[in-house]
């Protein structure tokens, strides 16, 4: 399915933040949500972003995904610098190059599963690639649920629709903020399995914010944030290794 050979995919950068800072407020109420963060998200790599509450995970994701402005530094998606774009161009880039999966599934209740999956492309006036659509729908196991409305689907099935919707447009990169936060552990495991498969089998790039070490273990790599900075990075994470790291940060936080 993937066009680029593996060697290219593993070196090409899908998204990059360079010295990215985001400051809220001014003077005494100022909050430095991101403090000169530099990070690459490589093509066909699954990255989990972890860190304590308030460490800047959502802010980093929103800034890199073009959903929020930043104070300084730069962000690029593929070869495009976000800072150079006008609002309209940014909206188009988000629509064409980025897929989103949110904690709340964000499906339209009056549309069928299939209509929800193709909605972003319908809005963009793009015809979905039928073969690709079938591949994606098959992978998330929704072929016999396509005419169902969201209310007729379980939470796990609804999130699978959201995963399929994100994959269907073949975006440069998919961002998820706690995408399994509303799911029971079994449905969560399924959705995480599909995300991992989309990376392994379809060459998709995925960046996922999570606080759950079990969820993070599905990723190829975990980036740890604390106080708006990247403090560590782990490749080939297991739930245990991630948990160990989290405990170390907690201990440091208490003694400093
Ligand atoms: N709109 C906002 N106005 C002011 N401060 C904010 C705003 N959004 C986030 N923050 C602050 O920025 C920091 C990082 O927030 P966030 O990225 O949501 O953290 P996380 O997702 O890791 O919990 C926190 O201190 C938070 O209170
Ligand atoms: Mg958050």
At 61-98, the pLDDT tens digits run 999 999 999 999 999 999 999 999 999 999 999 999 99
Separation CA 48–CA 121 (nearest Å): 27
Q: Is the pLDDT of residue 175 over 70?
A: yes
Is residue 160 within 8 A of residue 137, CB to CB? The reply is no
**Alpha helices in the chain, H assignment, sequence order:** 6-11, 57-64, 87-97, 113-124, 130-139, 155-168, 185-202, 213-216, 239-255
Tokens (6 digits) for 70: 């930043």
The response to whether residue 47 sits with its C-beta less than 6 Å from ligand 1 reads no
- pLDDT category, 139, cuts 50, 70, 90? confident
Q: Which among 32, 33, 37, 71 is the best mutation to test ligand 1's pocket, defined by most ligand atoms within 8 Å of the CB?
A: 33
Please state, rounded to an integer, the average pLDDT across all residues of the chain: 91
Instruction: Indicate the range of 35-39, 102-106, 216-220 predicted with least confidence.
Output: 102-106
**In ligand 1, which atom is closest to the CA atom of 56?**
17
Q: Say how many Å lie between the CA of residue 60 and the centre of ligand 1.
A: 10
Kindly give the number of the ligand 1 atom that is closest to the alpha carbon of 52: 22
181 lines ligand 1 (CB under 6 A): no
Query: Which residues, by Cβ under 5 Å, contact ligand 2, an ion?
Result: 58
Q: How far is CA 176 from CA 13, 85, 97, 161, in A?
A: 18, 23, 14, 14
Q: Is the model's pLDDT at 166 over the cut of 90?
A: yes
Ligand closest in space to the Cα of 70: 1
Residue 37 has pLDDT above 90, yes or no: yes
Q: How far is CA 150 from CA 13, 27, 105, 175, in A?
A: 35, 46, 9, 21
Residue nearest to atom 27 of ligand 1 (CA): 54
**How is residue 75 written in tokens?**
């962000």
Ligand 2 centre to CA of 49 (Å) is 10
Quote the CA–CA distance of 40 and 94 in Å, as a whole number.
18
Q: Ligand 2 centre and the CA of 95: distance in Å?
A: 22
Q: What is the rounded distance in angstroms from the CA atom of residue 212 to the CA atom of residue 189?
A: 12
Residue-wise pLDDT for 9-25, tens only, equals: 457 999 999 999 999 99
Short-list 16, 193, 191, 6, CA closest to 103: 191
**Structural contact between residues 222 and 47, judged by C-beta atoms closer than 8 angstroms:** yes
Q: 124 pLDDT band (50/70/90 cuts)? A: confident
> In the chain, pLDDT over 70 holds for what percent of residues?
94
Is the CB–ligand 1 distance for residue 14 below 6 Å? no
Q: Which two tokens stand for residue 89?
A: 């161009």
Q: Is the CB of 58 under 6 A from ligand 1?
A: yes
Using an 8 Å Cβ cutoff, are 79 and 14 in contact? Answer: no
Q: Is the beta carbon of 53 within 6 A of some atom in ligand 1?
A: yes
Pocket test of ligand 1: the residue of 48, 59, 212 to mutate, having most ligand atoms within 8 Å of its CB, is 59
- Whether 176 shows a pLDDT value over 60: the answer reads yes
57 touches ligand 1 (CB under 6 Å) = yes
Architecture of the domain made up of 44-54+86-255:
3-Layer(aba) Sandwich (3.40)
């Amino acid at each position: 399915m993937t066009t680029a050979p593996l060697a290219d995919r593993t070196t090409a950068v899908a998204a990059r933040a360079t010295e990215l800072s985001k400051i809220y407020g001014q003077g005494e109420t100022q909050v430095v949500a991101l403090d000169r963060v530099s990070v690459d998200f490589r093509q066909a790599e699954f990255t989990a972003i972890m860190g304590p509450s308030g460490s800047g995970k959502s802010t980093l994701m929103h800034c890199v995904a073009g959903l929020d402005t930043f104070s300084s530094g730069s962000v690029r998606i593929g070869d495009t610098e976000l800072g150079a774009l006008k609002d309209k161009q940014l909206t188009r880039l988000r629509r064409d190059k980025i897929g989103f999966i949110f904690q709340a599934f964000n499906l339209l209740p009056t549309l069928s599963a299939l209509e929800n999956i193709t909605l972003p492309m319908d809005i963009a006036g793009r015809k979905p690639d039928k073969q690709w659509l079938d591949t994606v729908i098959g992978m998330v196991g929704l072929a016999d649920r396509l005419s169902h409305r969201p209310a007729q689907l379980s939470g796990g099935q609804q999130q699978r629709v959201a995963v399929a919707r994100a994959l269907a447009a073949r975006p440069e990169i998919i961002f998820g903020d706690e995408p399994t936060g509303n799911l029971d552990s079994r449905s969560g495991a399924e959705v995480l399995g599909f995300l991992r498969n989309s990376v392994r089998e379809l060459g998709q790039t995925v960046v996922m914010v999570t606080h759950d070490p079990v969820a993070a273990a599905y990723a190829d790599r975990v980036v740890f944030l604390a106080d708006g900075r990247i403090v560590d990075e782990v490749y080939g994470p297991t739930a245990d290794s991630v948990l160990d790291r989290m405990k170390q940060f907690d201990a440091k936080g208490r003694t400093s």
